[in-house]
Structure 1
């Protein structure tokens, strides 16, 4: 009788161990896919969700956007996601770009399509323009 009881405990332990390994594989696979997307797209956050109605009618709340970021200059009309120190990234359209001749830096001004004014009030207090380092990516599509 002791042998059967011991065998059942061993089988139960193996099942738990097998489930834990399977869960670990799923989590590891998701992390590898996420890190791969970050590498391929060049964006620190390759997938974002629109959280407000500031880009309606083009993008509604809850829409999912795929981002990419490369070395090409940012142009007026592109939709970008930026985060200049806030908790939540913002999805808005670039309305003005002022490129500096002596460097590859640019001053960028954004605005939500449904907003009456530009985003200068959203930028940190010392900045009237957004720098490229704050842009997480451009919307694809």
Structure 2
């Protein structure tokens, strides 16, 4: 019985080491992603340097599933620029074009009015009740570049939770050591 007990203990220790190795590897991947994200936030000046276009309101320029890269510069916003903004009380950012800029005479602050390129009217119906303009604190950034179709992964995982579950199950069953393309 001694050698069987020793064998079982050896198998358990190998299993524990593999689990710990995978946990540390996953932790390093997550930490690296967070560091990259925070670095992008610092470089771009935007709280969300990358966003996915979630609707067809900006077609034909941007289609649903395109990824936009944002930058928040100190330059004043001008009509014609594409901005991403948050509305009070809503979590999902909106990508639309600035159609009108209004400078307040008393404070010098700039307010903007937006509209989706594929929409008939301006966005005042989207804004919070009684709000006619977006202020600077609503703006998350200006679109400075895009990648077409890459954001579909995010859209599919959000709209089809079963796919997200299957991806997590796949990741969980993969062994980090078995991914040959990571080995050099």
TM-score relative to the length of structure 2: 0.72
Residue 100 of structure 2 corresponds to residue 96 of structure 1: yes
Q: What's the secondary structure of 1:81's corresponding residue?
A: strand
Tell me what 1:79 maps to.
Answer: 82
Unaligned runs of 5+ in 2: 146-184
Q: Deviations over 1:100-129 (max 9, x none)?
A: 345341110111111111111111112111
Unaligned runs of 5+ in 1: none
Shift in Å, 1:38: 1.1
Q: What's the secondary structure of 1:25's corresponding residue?
A: helix
Shift in Å, 1:73: 0.5
Larger strand fraction of residues: 1
Larger helix fraction of residues: 2
Residue 140 of structure 2 corresponds to residue 132 of structure 1: no
Q: What's the secondary structure of 1:130's corresponding residue?
A: coil
Shift in Å, 1:3: 3.5
| 1:6 equivalent among 5, 9, 22 | 9
Alignment of 1:1-141 (within 5 A): 1=3, 2-85=5-88, 86-141=90-145
Q: Which moved more, 1:31-40 or 1:1-10?
A: 1-10
TM-score relative to the length of structure 1: 0.93
Distance 2:51 2:138 in 1: 15
Distance 2:71 2:113 in 1: 19
C-alpha RMSD of the superposition:
1.4
Distance 1:5 1:104 in 2: 75
